[in-house]
Amino acid sequence: MNNIKIHDVGMRDGLQNEAKIVPTETKIKWIHKLIESNIDIIQIGSFVHPAKVPQMADTDDLFKYFSKIEHKPVLSGLLLNEKGMERAINCGVEMFCMGVSASDTHSKKNTGMETIEAQKRIIAIAQELIKLGHKVQVSVQSAFGCGFEGKISEEKVFEIVKSYIESGINNISLADTAGHAYPEQVTRMFAKIKNAYPNSVLTCHFHNTYGLGMSNCYSAINEGVEYFETAFGGLGGCPFTKVAAGNVCTEDLIHSINRNRNFEQINIDNLIEVSKQAEQFFEKKLEGYIYRAGKLNY
């Protein structure tokens, strides 16, 4: 567990489905607190059209602000197309995240493209960014099931992963966009990838739609997954899936791992503070547990 890295996506995935727009100055305050928590990677926003996702309208400004700060974790951003790539390059993104949905229905709702078209486009963008010397992560969204189509072929997911690897991209995430994943499936799918491509760097991203997010994380840990995309307070949900549910909560996962003193470099108190501020801002109880129950100190 000492190799685990936390990629907090609360400022992007956590906020994108919230109707109440968070002011830029509030986002800056929350991001500063996340930086102080010693998180490994923070996803600040996504380069999408503001009319589609109004919460992300200030993404460029946030990156320009934080790119000037020294001694910070890696700052990542999500992009969908070539225009997003240009914006991301111009405002100081350090890690470029992009992906394709294994569900044609979800892909069309999210990007306006079917899976095959989106896959070719994303691979070309990723290769261009790698050629320019940038850090890139590609994902398979709806990898464990789709709210619209239901079961997704595991072989289809593996073929998308194979296409990434054969294109020279080995930093790969499986994203449970609809929250359908279950532990045995997680074990099976990540084991197959790791056995076929032992040099791949694997990330998981689980939503808690059916309450299995934490269990799925532990299954991923056991299969050598290194990077975990989570969100403070358990915020989150894709606006383009059928049932939008929160992510695995960052502080909940860290607190759980720390029960065995494996993962103490992250300041969980700062994460709890951000979650409490988010609860006050949105005027609702969030899906995380530790920020409400308090952490155990034994």
Radius of gyration of the chain measured on its C-alpha atoms: 18
Is residue 204 flagged as an active site residue? no
93 three-state secondary structure: coil
- What tokens appear for 163 in the block? 């296409």
H-type alpha helices, 132-229:
154-166, 183-196, 213-222
**Which is catalytic among the residues 91, 204, 238, 249?**
238
d(CA 295, CA 298): 9
Pick from 240, 233, 236, 164: which is nearest to 205 by CA?
A: 236
Pick from 177, 235, 249: which is nearest to 20 by CA?
A: 235
Residue 25: count other Cβ atoms within 10 Å of its Cβ.
Answer: 8
Question: How many CA within 13 A on the CB side of residue 79?
Answer: 26
Residue 80: count other Cβ atoms within 10 Å of its Cβ.
Answer: 23
| Angle at alpha carbon of residue 59, lines to 117 and 134, rounded to 5° | 60
Residues known to be catalytic: 238
